[in-house]
Amino acid sequence: MLESSVLFSLRLSFQVAAVATFFIIVVGVTVAYFLAQRNFKGKEMLDMLFTLPLVLPPTVTGYYLIILFGRNGLIGKQIYEWTGWSIMFTWYAAVLASFVVALPLMIKTTRAAIESIDKNLINASYTLGHSEFETTVKVILPLAKRGIMAGTVLSFARALGEFGATLMLAGNIPGKTDTMPLAIYSLAGSGEWSQANCMVILLTLMSGFFLYFANRYSKRFI
Amino acid sequence: MGLSVRLKKKVNGFVLDVAWEIGNELAVLFGCSGAGKSMTLQMIAGLLIPDDGFVRIGKTMMFDESRSINVPPQQRNLGYVFQDLALFPHMTALDNILYGSNGMCKLEKRERAKEMIDAFHIEGLEKKYPAELSGGQKQRIAFARALMRRPEVLLLDEPFSALDNPLRTEMRRFLRDIKNRFDVPVVFVTHDLTEAFTVAETLIVYSSGKVIQTGTPKDVLDNPLNSEVELLVNTTPYFLNLTNR
């Protein structure tokens, strides 16, 4: 019943969301740690910068990403001159778009989780002879586990549903960059309702499942 | 063995300015809440940096503003028992104790842990998590953890405040045993008068960021230096007033 194009979109969506989530965990936890544990100038500005994609229209986020990573963009131009390759209109662009849009969810939940840890537990670890790194690995991250898990699930769900920024950056190329949300847009535009219905139901069910999962992991940080 | 400090610190309008020295004894920092007692402990441990002064543990200078010495808390070999005990909720009792054994070899870790389990009567609780333990049991584990790495000084920040009265009395007796058994100078912070007088060998009386008298409990009680000390250590007039009314 499922056509190969539907299966392709499904597989691509998961691939994009999984790769984006991997980078979100690495970057998100690191950024959240510094925002929660350190005091430095411009800290709240940095937090704001990372949170902006949460409230900006994804098309605006996508626009900024084009300015940065487009073939003539600030960073994209350098990459193109070196390698002759541009991220634009590849599935990597979909990963980049999903990463930027979903990252704030990870940072918010993880920062809240780390900040809610009793400061004395961290101090106790120091007085027991453990370095900051050991304390992070053995005390802070395990105690922030629920927040990190919730952030991971939410980010994955958000990455799976990413549309606007992906459209700007990766385009909507059938068989190449059409993730599920983009495919639904095309199918609805050309009146292919049965396939659109199928994808809409699939995406709704999966998102519902992820939210349920995130809620089970953490009621405190959402 | 011993501990010598001179500490100055200004925080949000509060000024702490104290200097005292103890030998291998059980010293009590006594005073009202907000007098700067806990802050003193944090500065001894290196968790808070003084504006000026020094901290010397044994023969080692841990902090000296004039010589820009500031040993990080990890390298100041001291035991710290926090008011809320700060046991790691995601570790078992045994793992909490073993967490204090950084730098020991495997064999030494095991032997020292066994020694602590015996000394603090923790047998049978090793695999339990803090949430499954009673107040008194948690207390003993916090002490075992703090003493695991053979600290040169033991800092106690109102560790008994969460216990009910009979248990507090028992823990005070227990504290003297610890002091004798592990032969370590102890600095004990409390705002409880009875507690201060029952456990102290030396009493250091704090008021608004200053030390207003130092001496044995008997000294302080018999010869209060001024009316402020008298007010702090002598509750009798208050009770007399009540009965006279």
Residue B36 at interface with chain A, using a CB cutoff of 8 Å: no
Report the residue from B78, B88, B103 with minimal CB separation from A127: B78
Contact A217, A146 (CB under 8 A): yes
- When scoring B82, B85, B141, B150 by the number of chain A Cβ atoms within 10 A, the one with the most, hence best to mutate, is B82
Q: Determine the pLDDT at residue A197.
A: 93
CB contact under 8 A, B84 and A120: yes
Computed from CA positions of residues A138, A28, A76, A97, in that sequence, does the dihedral angle turn out positive or negative? positive
Residues 6+ apart with CB under 8 A from A54: A101, A104, A105, A108
Do β-strands B60-64 and B52-57 pair in parallel, antiparallel, or remain unpaired?
antiparallel
Q: Please report residues of A whose CB lies closer than 8 A to that of B90.
A: 142-143
Model pLDDT for residues A104-128, shown as the tens digit of each residue: 999 999 999 999 999 999 999 999 9
What pLDDT sits at residue B160?
A: 87
Residue type, A58: P
pLDDT in tens, A73-89: 899 999 999 998 999 99
Instruction: List all residues of chain A from 106 to 125 with a beta carbon under 8 Å from chain B.
Output: 118, 120-121, 123-125
- Per-residue pLDDT tens digits for A184-211: 999 999 999 998 999 999 999 988 988 8
- Judge: A127–B145 Cβ closer than 8 Å, yes or no: no
| Distance from the A14 Cα atom to the nearest Cα atom in chain B, whole angstroms | 33
CB-based contact (8 Å) between A83 and chain B?
no
Predicted confidence at residue B102, as pLDDT, reads 85
Chain A interface includes B131 (CB < 8 A): no
- Pair A174, A5: CB distance under 8 Å: yes
A130 touches chain B (CB under 8 A): yes
Q: In the prediction, which pLDDT does B245 show?
A: 47
Q: Does A138 touch chain B (CB under 8 A)?
A: yes
Q: Which residues of chain B have pLDDT under 50?
A: 245
Cα B165 to Cα B202: distance, rounded to the nearest angstrom: 23
Distance, CA of B94 to CA of B127 (rounded, Å): 6
- Residue A134 pLDDT > 90, yes or no? yes
Domain boundaries, chain A: 4-217
| Chain B touched by A142 (CB under 8 Å) | yes
Report residue A118 as tokens.
């009793």
CA proximity to A179, closest of A2, A4, A17: A17
Does the ipTM exceed 0.95?
Answer: no
Cα separation values, B161 from B61, B135, B153, B164, B195, Å: 31, 10, 21, 8, 10
- Measuring CA to CA, which residue among A103, A76, A66, A93 is closest to residue A182? A93
Q: Show residues of chain B in contact with A129, CB under 8 Å.
A: 74-75, 77, 100, 102-103, 149
Q: Does B47 touch chain A (CB under 8 A)?
A: yes
pLDDT interval class at A48 (50, 70, 90):
very high
What is the C-alpha separation between B240 and B234, in angstroms, rounded?
A: 11
Q: What is the pLDDT of residues A145-194, one digit of tens each?
A: 999 999 999 999 999 999 999 999 999 888 899 999 999 999 999 999 99
- The answer to whether A71 contacts chain B (CB < 8 Å) is no
**What CATH architecture is B1-77+153-165+185-245?**
3-Layer(aba) Sandwich (3.40)
Query: If contacts are CB pairs under 8 Å, which of residues 177-196 in chain B contact chain A?
Result: none
Question: CB of A137 within 8 Å of any CB in chain B?
Answer: no
Predicted pLDDT at B157: 94
Contacts of B149 in chain A (CB under 8 A): 128-129
Domain at A4-217, CATH from 3.40.50.300, 1.10.1660.10, 1.10.3720.10, 3.50.50.60: 1.10.3720.10
Is A146 part of the contact surface with chain B (CB cutoff 8 Å)?
A: no
> At residue A222, does pLDDT exceed 50?
no
Complete DSSP assignment for chain B: --EEEEEEEEETTEEEEEEEEE-SSEEEEE--TTSSHHHHHHHHHTSS--SEEEEEETTEEEEEGGGTEE--GGGS-EEEE-TT----TTS-HHHHHHGGGTT--HHHHHHHHHHHHHHTT-TT-TT--GGGS-HHHHHHHHHHHHHTT--SEEEEESTTTTS-HHHHHHHHHHHHHHHHHHT--EEEEE--HHHHHHH-SEEEEEETTEEEEEE-HHHHHHS-SSHHHHHHH--HHHHHHHHH-
Lowest mean pLDDT segment, chosen from A56-60, A103-107, A218-222, B88-92: A218-222
**Which pLDDT belongs to residue B163?**
81
Neighbours of B75 (CB within 10 A): 11
